[in-house]
Amino acid sequence: MSTFNHAEFVKKLEDNAREILDYAGNEAPRILGNTAKNFFMENFQQEGFVNGGLRATNEKPLPISSKNSCK
């Protein structure tokens, strides 16, 4: 295992942080978008969601108060 001096460690840490931010801001959303698009396209072509597909949650919807409702 190599040893870093303080300056090398800080530079390496900054480089890694920059790579992570670049991945999270640019590459990850593109990959996730393509995966979601492919999921929907494949299931549409198979005429339904397979392998469990989309599942309803057990969460109840939030109540609508009369103050915020449209009249």
What residue has token string 């009369």? Answer: 66
Q: What are the sequence ranges of the domains in the chain?
A: 11-46
The answer for residues whose C-beta is within 8 angstroms of residue 2's C-beta and 6 or more apart is none
pLDDT grade for 67, boundaries at 50, 70 and 90: low
User: Alpha-carbon distance 9 to 17, whole Å?
Assistant: 12
Q: Is the pLDDT of residue 29 over 50?
A: yes
38-65 pLDDT, tens digit per residue, is 988 888 887 776 666 666 667 776 676 6
Predicted TM-score of the model (pTM): 0.51
